[in-house]
Amino acid sequence: MTTKKRKAAAKKKSPAKRSPRAAFAVATNEKKSTAERAKAFAEAPLATIASDQSLQASLSVLRDREQPIKVRLAALQSLQAATFSVIEFEPYREDYFATLRELVDDPDAELRQRVLGILAREKDGYVQKRLLEGLQDTSKALVPPEKALQLLSYDVHADAYPVAREIVNAPPNPEAKREALRLLSADANSAPVFEKLMRDKNEDRDIRQISAAALQSVKPKRFQEQARELLLDDKEYDDIQATALTALEQFGDEKAVAKDQKLMDRVDELGKGKSAKVKKTAKRFMTRYGSEK
C-alpha cells in the first residue's frame, strides 16, 4: 500500500477505532475544531490519566479560560469518568481536586456548577463554606440558592438548617423553597413545617409533595393521620390524594390502616372516581388492605 493510500485508509477509520492515545492527541490539540476535541475527550477517559503528563495536559485545558468552554466541559467530564477507575486514578486524585478548587470562581456558570457539584459530593469543606456564605450573602453566591441548597444536601450539617428554614419562610423563588425543604427532610424539628405545607391547599403541588415525603420520613405516625384527613377531604386535589394513598399503600402501618373502616370506605369510593391516578393508587391500596386483598 502506498503512503497516500495508507493515509486515506486511516482517514476513513472510525473514530472509535483510533487508539486512546490518538484520541487524546486530538483532544489536546488546539488546532483541531472544538467539536473534534470535545468528542476526542469523551472517547477515551482513561487516556487523561495514562501518565502524569496526560493528567497535567488535561488539567491545563480544564483550567485555561481561553479554551472553548465545550472543550473544558468535555475535559472535566472525561476526568470525572476516569475517577471511577479508582486504583488507576489514585496518584492523580490530589492534583485533580486541587484544580477543581481553583475553578469554583470560574466565570462560566455551567463549569462552575459542575465543579461545585463534584466537590460537594466529595464533602469538600471549603466548598460547603462558600455555598453557605452565598446563601447568607447573595453577593457571594456562586450558584443560585436552589442549587446551593441542593449541593449542601450531599452532606447535611445542622449548621445549614437555620438558613434553610429562613428560605422556607421567605423564599427567593419556589425552587429554593423546595430544595430547602428537601435539605430539612432529615430534621425532625421541621415536622410542623412539613405538616403545615402538606395540608395547605394554596401551596404549590411540588412543595406539598416534598413536604408529605419529608413528614412521612421523620414522623410517619403523624403523616398517616394527616394523609387520612387529606383523603377524607372531598375538596382535596387529586395528585395530593394520590401521593397520600401511595405512601399509605407502600409504607403505612398495616394494622392501623386495615381497621380504619371510614378510611377504607373512602378509598373504596375514590377508586370509583374520575381521576385515573387516584383510581390507580386506590386500587393498589385496596389490594393491600381491603376487600380486593
- Exposure string of 224-257, with b = 16+ CB inside 10 Å and e = fewer, is bebbbebbeeeebebebbbbbbbbbbeebeeeeb
CB of 35 to other proteins, least distance (A): 11
Nearest-5° Cα angle at 49, 86 to 117: 60
Site stretch for other proteins (CB under 8 A), options 2-10, 116-124, 132-140, 258-266: 116-124
Q: Yes or no: say if 163 and 148 are a contact pair by the CB < 8 Å rule.
A: no
How many H-runs (helices) and E-runs (strands) does the chain carry? 19, 0
Does 118 bind other proteins (CB under 8 A)? Our answer is yes
Q: Which of 54, 185, 190, 226 binds other proteins (CB under 8 A)?
A: 185
Does 280 bind other proteins (CB under 8 A)? Our answer is yes
Q: How many residues does the chain have?
A: 293
Q: Yes or no: say if 59 and 32 are a contact pair by the CB < 8 Å rule.
A: no
Cα-atom radius of gyration of the chain, to the nearest Å? 26
Q: Which of 210, 227, 230, 231 binds other proteins (CB under 8 A)?
A: 210
Does 168 bind other proteins (CB under 8 A)? Our answer is no
Toward other proteins, which CB reaches closer, 232 or 237? 237
Q: Yes or no: say if 47 and 21 are a contact pair by the CB < 8 Å rule.
A: yes
Contacts with other proteins by CB under 8 A: the residue count is: 61
Using CB under 8 A as the binding rule, the residues of this chain from 12 to 51 that contact other proteins are: 16, 39, 42-46
Toward other proteins, which CB reaches closer, 7 or 126? 126
Annotate each residue in 49-88 with x if it binds other proteins (CB under 8 A) or - if it does not, as one string: ----------------------------xx-xxxxxxxxx
Site stretch for other proteins (CB under 8 A), options 160-168, 213-221, 228-236, 256-264: 213-221
Give the amino acid at 258. A
Q: Which of 240, 257, 270, 286 binds other proteins (CB under 8 A)?
A: 240
Q: Yes or no: say if 272 and 240 are a contact pair by the CB < 8 Å rule.
A: no
C-alpha cell at 136: 447568607
Q: Which of 36, 122, 133, 203 binds other proteins (CB under 8 A)?
A: 122
Q: Yes or no: say if 179 and 149 are a contact pair by the CB < 8 Å rule.
A: yes
| Unique residue bearing C-alpha cell 486514578 | 89
**Contact residues: other proteins, CB under 8 A:** 16, 39, 42-46, 77-78, 80-90, 113-114, 117-118, 121-122, 144, 146-147, 150, 153-154, 156, 175, 178-179, 182-183, 185-186, 206, 209-210, 213-214, 216-217, 220, 238-240, 242-243, 246-247, 249-251, 277, 280-281
